[in-house]
Amino acid sequence: MSLTSITERLTSITERLTDRLTLGDRAADRLARVVRAVVPPVVVLVMLMVLIPLGLGSTIGAGAALGLVLVLLLLATVGLESSAVVLFGAGFLFAPMNDVKPVAAISFVTVSDVFFFMGVLTLFPLLMTRTFVRQAPFLIGVGGIVAFGLISSALATAPAASLNVLVRLIVGALMLPLVFMLWRPGRGVMTWFAAAYVAGNGISVLQGLATGVVSVEGRYIGLTEHPNILGLISMLAVALVPFLYAEVPSRLRWLVLVGGAVSAYGVWMSGSRAALAGTVVLALVYLMLSRSIEHGLVLFGLSIVPLYLVGRTFSSDTADSSPLGRLRGGGSATLSDIDRENLHAVAIDKFLHHPVLGSGFADASLAHNIYLQVAAAGGIVGVLFFLVIVVSTIRQPLLLLGHLRLLALPAMGYAMVGPLTPLIWDRYIWCVLALPFLVLRPPGRAATSDVGHQTAEPSAAAHRQERVDG
C-alpha cells in the first residue's frame, strides 16, 4: 500500500469522524432547545399538582398556591429581571392602598409588601453581583441608624419592643433604596413605577368617592387606614406629576394630568392640613424651579376641577372636615391639636432624659413629628444620622440630569411635612423616595438647563457606565 493511499484513507476516516461529531453537536443543540422549552412548563405543572391539594385546604393556601404558580409562569416566560420589574410595578400600584391586606389576621403586611418582597427575592441572584456606586451619604446614614439604633435598643427599658420597631424602620424605610442602588435598571423602569404609584392612588381616591366610606371624623380614607395617610400619599402622587409630565410622550400627558387632578382632590378630601400645605408649597417650588408660563397654565388648568369640588365642599355640611375647615379649628382639629401637644410633651421629656442615645424605638411613632420621634428614640446621634438619610434622598435626584431632578419634589414634600406627621417607616412613602436610586448618577456635573424642559441626554461615557453597572 502506497503512502498516497494511506493518506487518502486516513483523510476519509477523519472526515467521517468529523461528520459524526458535527451531528452530535447538532443533536446536543436540539436537545438543549427541547429542554429549555419543556422543563419550565413541566416544573410549573409539578408545582401545580403539589400546591392545588394544599390550596384546597384553605382560602389562604389556595391564594398562596395560585400566586406561586403565577410567579413561576412569569419567571419561565420573561426571565428574572423582567419578572422583578412586573412584581415591583405591582408593588408600586398597590402601595397607595395600604389597607388592602392579603390576610386580614396579619394587619401589618399589605399586598404591596408581598409584591415588593417577591421582587427582591427574584432579584437576589442578580443583586449579589452588584456593588454600591457613589451613594456614600445615604449609606453612612443607614449605617449610623442601624448601629446606634441597636445600642439605643439595648439600653432601652423594653429592648425587645425597641428592636422590633427598629427592624420595621430598617425594612420599611431603608430596604428599597438599598435594593434600587444595587439594581439600577434605568429611567424607563423608574417612569413606569412612578406612573403605577399615581394610578394606584387614583384608584384609592376614586374608590373612596364611590363608596363614601369615611372615618369616625367624617373624612374620606379611600383604600388607606387613615385620612392622614390618604392625604400624604396623594401629596406624594401630586409631587410625581411634574416628572411624569416631562418624561412621558406628549400623547400620554393627558393621562398624567388626570392622575394629578385626582390626586390633588385626594389631598383635599382627606382633610389633612399637613398634606394640603405640603402640596401648595410643592406647587410653588415647582413654578420657581421651572419658571415656565406653560407649566403655570397647566397648574391652573389642573386646579379648575379640584376648586369646583372644594367650592361644593364649603357649601355642604362637610366643610368643617376639609383641610381649610380644620385649619380654622373645625371638625376634629381641636381635639387632634390637643392630642399632638400632649404627645410632643412626652417625646420631649424622653429626649431630655436621654439626649445622646435616646430611650429606644418602642414608642417612636407617637409624637406626630418624625424628627422629634427619632430624637426621642435615638437621641442627638440618631436624629443626625436620620437627617443625613433625608438630605441624601433630596440630594440624589438633584445630581441627575434634566427633568430627572424633579424627583426631588416628593422627598422635599416629605421633609416639609415631617414635623406634622408620625409616618416614618411605611413603604408607601419610601418607595417613592427611593425612585431616584434606580438610575446611575452621571460621572460629571448635572446639566444646568431649565428643569421644566427637555435637556441634553447623559454623555456617552455615562451611558457606557450605566450599561456596565446597571
Q: What DSSP string runs through 192-259?
A: HHHHHHHHHHHHHHHHHHHH--B-TTS-B-TTSSSHHHHHHHHHHHHHHHHHHHHHS-GGGHHHHHHH
Q: What is the dihedral of CA 257, 259, 264, 270, to 10 degrees?
A: 170
Bin 256: left if φ > 0, else alpha if -120 < ψ < 50, else beta. alpha
Give bridge partners of residue 220 from the DSSP assignment: 214
Cα 459 from Cα 466, distance rounded (Å) = 11
Cα 221 from Cα 342, distance rounded (Å) = 25
Size (the chain), residues: 470
Grid cell at residue 48: 401545580
User: pLDDT in tens for each of the 470 residues of the chain?
Assistant: 554 555 556 556 555 655 554 545 565 566 556 655 665 566 556 666 665 555 555 555 556 666 666 766 666 666 778 888 989 999 999 999 988 888 766 777 888 998 998 889 888 888 887 777 767 888 899 899 988 888 888 888 888 888 888 888 888 788 899 899 889 888 899 999 999 999 999 999 999 888 876 766 678 888 998 899 999 999 999 999 999 999 999 999 999 999 999 999 999 888 888 888 888 888 887 877 666 555 555 555 555 555 555 555 544 545 455 555 555 455 555 566 676 677 777 778 888 888 888 888 877 666 778 888 888 888 899 899 999 999 999 999 988 888 888 999 999 999 988 888 888 878 899 999 999 999 876 655 444 444 444 433 444 444 434 433 43
Grid cell at residue 79: 426571565
Cβ atoms of 420 and 380 within 8 Å: the answer is no
Nearest by Cα to 71 from 399, 234, 348, 63 = 63
Cα 387 from Cα 372, distance rounded (Å) = 11
Cβ neighbors of 75 (< 8 A, separation 6 or more) are 40, 83, 122
